[in-house]
Structure 1
Amino acid sequence: MTKDRIVLLDSLRGLGVLGILLCNAPDFAVPPGIAESVKSWPHGTGPDTLGVWFVTQWLFQRKFVTLFAMLFGVSIFLVGGERTDKERGSTLRKRLSWMVLFGVLHGFAIWYGDVLLSYALAGFAVMFARSWSPKRLLWTGVGVWVAFSLLMTAGAAAMMLAPSESAQAGAAASAQIAKAGLAEIQYSGTFLQSLVQNAKDRLVLLPNEPIIFLMTASLMMIGLACFKLGLFTGEARTRTYVILLVIGLLALAGVGLVFVQFMAQDLSRPMSMVAMTVQMATAPLSTLAYVSLMVFAARSKSFWSVIPRALAPVGQMAFTNYLTQSLIMTALFYGGRGLNLHGEVDRPGLAAITIGIWIVQILWSRWWMDRFAMGPLEWLWRRLYRGPTPLRRPRPAVTA
């Protein structure tokens, strides 16, 4: 790891970990089968509910998990160095191995939607590409991402062209709702019931890991290429950031139009597939637009420079903040752990809770990083893969 932290990377990491929470909030609050659904959402489709859903899908969904994956690709290089550096390579392997354990524990014992395991597994592959040139990393990462997007597009087209089978679709939706109802009882039950149900839902998601692996590895390579090109350090030319911003905003406009059309067509399932496909395929473009905005804010001498400064401490302890979000949300929503609000909170309420957690994490991250060299879980993680590591910041020398 380089001795001098790159503040812009910390700011982007902070943006990523906070943005992810709004997307994850429904998955804590209702069973996984209906968390992403609009029609099956238990609180209906009122204007406020639909408005929060639209903003989340338009401006947040896929953008921040994409950013986080890209930045994890950067950390592969910052920790492991070049492939010729055997000592740092060994440190990187230990770091990823412990992350596998953290991911398994998080996914089964806290929240089924864990991404740490996926990142660690993809990291083991990307570590072999960390010395590649930016061009090779970019072409490989983009190639995999485009291939995956084309497969999704083909699936969406097949759904659009397939004959309507409303009876079968209705039966499938009813079965999904019934299954979600059974899960709801377990999540709202005792601590042991919610723990077991969470583990069951985690097991259901594990077969998706090969797909997630390819998606995540491709984004890590794209992110590492962007880092080597200076995009994530603010060293690229202003013209480059302007181009990325324009392209990303156009992509965002396209996503917004598709989701508006989805709502105009009475939330039809084929149009839902199209909307999700466009959202997924264009996510890296929108993400790089957000990166460009952060660079401009960091360069600014006005009020906007406050944003990256406020987010940097959040990013320095992103691992702690990510796991803390899971602990807070499960304490709020899972049975036997706290308030037991599972199934009780609509999307506007989830947005309010999310904003509250954002404020708390921004404030407590600043307080903590003013006193300590790293977050508490970052310290534990580093101690496991590096050995004894000081946590407190060294006191400034007192001169006579």
Structure 2
Amino acid sequence: MIALSTPTPVAENGAVRPTIQAERVTTIDILRGVALLGILLMNIVLFALPPALFREQVFAHPGDTNYWVYLITNVLFEGKMRAVFSLLFGAGVLLFTSGKEAASEGSIVVADLYYRRMLWLIVFGLVDAFLLLWFGDILYGYGLVGLLLFAFRNAAPRRLLLGALLCFAFHLFLNWWDFAETGEKRQKYLAAVALEKQHKTLTEAQQGDKVAWEDMLKGRQFNQKKVDKEIKAMRGNYGSVWHQIRPRSVFYESELFYRFLIWDALGMMLLGMALFKWGVLTNRVSSRTYWGMVVLGYGIGIPLGWWSVVQQADLYQNAAQAVDTQWFPAPGGTYDIRRTLVALGHIGVIMLLYRSGLFSGLWRPLSAVGQMAFTNYVMQTLLCTGIFYGYGLGYYGALPYYQLYYVVPGIWALQLIISPIWLQNFRFGPLEWVWRSLTYWQRQPMRRTAGLH
């Protein structure tokens, strides 16, 4: 186990330098590796299926294989792996800045390096979204949120926790707002229909209220022609796929990010900074604490997740009835609570297993995957677009939802094998090396030398 107080990253000439292998925190690399692999469980669906077809396969027939696979993956992994990844990103901010700040006797040099690092991450995210065509990219959003985190690096853990809770509360408020707007739209529709039944002439506004609700319901209905059109576009050449993907990338990286995802990411990153300072992510708390995370996290988070999936199915099958009867904005209303609790439960399980010595042969490859998380994340983009998009094998829309999880273990195995082999010969993953070289504005040594670990 690597101690929390790692050597100060300063070169012989006094210049700030990158972290070397001996300074890494093993448990953080392992957790990051688990999170990176787990994220693929959710992302592969977006790579492989039209969203409308995915919802139809999962929710139209509750009880079949697709539904049960979704229930399990949603309850245990959806949002939870990304939550762990975000927690570790927050911890990474502290790992990057703490020793460097002491070495440079001030924050100006470190701020220059840090903001350059985040700005390049934003650039990488735009490339991932608009050139590699992964509309669900998180690098861009992480880079933007990362710009805010530098100001919180010296905050006390309790204040970081408070900041995280405020972000989650505001996220909940936004979900309540949308829930209330949908309910209001439904009530206006019912009022307009009641007037029609009384043979009264509707005003222009009342007619608009009626049409607005009907259009919303129509938009939720499965449309095979639209799905076929989307599949045809996604099985086309690069230009065809780009035209299909671009509007989604714009939506994800702008409206969706600034309305919802920024609070999601910022809250988790602040919480990750607090957990790092408390020693939770670095194997420095008691086993009793980790057991408490497991029991509390799974005991509350899993039932909430199960209930959320049931609510999603009800909303899909009969939106009008669901809006009329639901009193709570499901699943959005419980999202941050259940994903945080289950994510903490996952961390507790991994740390307890790591301490127990079980599965010791798996920790090294997982740590390698985590150490090369940037490279492996983009590798998942390349592999999935190569399998499902038309300029690759063209399997978009070809596999039912549950069969996508036949593909996932193959990608996992590839990354678990390649990552440790690569790190036997090189100090960094290829994209990590590029990122570091751009951050320090100097070509970094890549190959390992004798005696360097």
Same fold (TM over 0.5): yes
Which residue in the other structure is 1:23 paired with? 42
* 1:122-151 residue CA offsets vs partner (Å, 9 max, x unmatched): 000111111111111111112211231244
Q: Does 1:367 align with 2:421?
A: yes
Alpha-carbon distance between aligned partners in 2 of 1:137 and 1:72, rounded to the nearest angstrom: 14
Q: Does 1:291 align with 2:308?
A: no
* 1:110-259 equivalence runs, <5 A: 110=132, 111-153=134-176, 155-156=178-179, 162=186, 168-174=215-221, 179-205=226-252, 206-210=254-258, 211-259=260-308
Quick one: percent identity of the two aligned structures? Answer: 27
Which residue in the other structure is 1:100 paired with? 122
Instruction: Tell me by how many angstroms 1:19 deviates.
Output: 0.4
Unaligned runs of 5+ in 2: 1-17, 191-212
Which residue in the other structure is 1:331 paired with? 386
Q: Would the alpha carbon gap of residues 381 and 260 (structure 1) be closer, same or farther in structure 2, given more than 3 Å must change?
A: closer
Q: Would the alpha carbon gap of residues 262 and 286 (structure 1) be closer, same or farther in structure 2, given more than 3 Å must change?
A: same
* 1:205-246 residue CA offsets vs partner (Å, 9 max, x unmatched): 221121322221121111011001100001012222222111
Q: Would the alpha carbon gap of residues 239 and 160 (structure 1) be closer, same or farther in structure 2, given more than 3 Å must change?
A: farther
SS of aligned partner of 1:343: coil
CA contact (8 A) 1:153 1:274 kept: no
Alpha-carbon distance between aligned partners in 1 of 2:25 and 2:268, rounded to the nearest angstrom: 20
* 338-347 or 152-161: bigger deviation: 152-161
Alpha-carbon distance between aligned partners in 2 of 1:149 and 1:198, rounded to the nearest angstrom: 29
Q: Would the alpha carbon gap of residues 23 and 277 (structure 1) be closer, same or farther in structure 2, given more than 3 Å must change?
A: farther
* 1:10-66 residue CA offsets vs partner (Å, 9 max, x unmatched): 0010011100001011100123x427x533669976722112211111111000111
Instruction: Tell me by how many angstroms 1:200 deviates.
Output: 2.5
* 77-86 or 365-374: bigger deviation: 77-86
What's the TM-score, normalizing by structure 1? 0.89
CA contact (8 A) 2:312 2:330 kept: no
Q: Would the alpha carbon gap of residues 329 and 322 (structure 1) be closer, same or farther in structure 2, given more than 3 Å must change?
A: same
* 1:281-360 equivalence runs, <5 A: 281-301=337-357, 303-336=358-391, 338-360=392-414
CA contact (8 A) 1:141 1:219 kept: yes
Code of the residue aligned with 2:337 in structure 1: it is A
CA contact (8 A) 1:7 1:312 kept: yes
Rg larger in structure? 2
Q: Would the alpha carbon gap of residues 244 and 73 (structure 1) be closer, same or farther in structure 2, given more than 3 Å must change?
A: same
* 38-47 or 84-93: bigger deviation: 38-47
Alpha-carbon distance between aligned partners in 2 of 1:70 and 1:308, rounded to the nearest angstrom: 20
Unaligned runs of 5+ in 1: none
- In angstroms, what is the RMSD of aligned CA positions? 2.7
* 97-106 or 303-312: bigger deviation: 303-312
Alpha-carbon distance between aligned partners in 1 of 2:434 and 2:175, rounded to the nearest angstrom: 40
* 280-289 or 120-129: bigger deviation: 280-289
Code of the residue aligned with 1:389 in structure 2: it is Q
Q: Does 1:34 align with 2:57?
A: no
Instruction: Tell me by how many angstroms 1:260 deviates.
Output: 5.8
Q: Would the alpha carbon gap of residues 218 and 153 (structure 1) be closer, same or farther in structure 2, given more than 3 Å must change?
A: same
What's the TM-score, normalizing by structure 2? 0.80
Which residue in the other structure is 2:199 paired with? none
* 1:152-180 residue CA offsets vs partner (Å, 9 max, x unmatched): 24644775795598855541224876554
SS of aligned partner of 1:294: helix
Alpha-carbon distance between aligned partners in 2 of 1:255 and 1:355, rounded to the nearest angstrom: 27
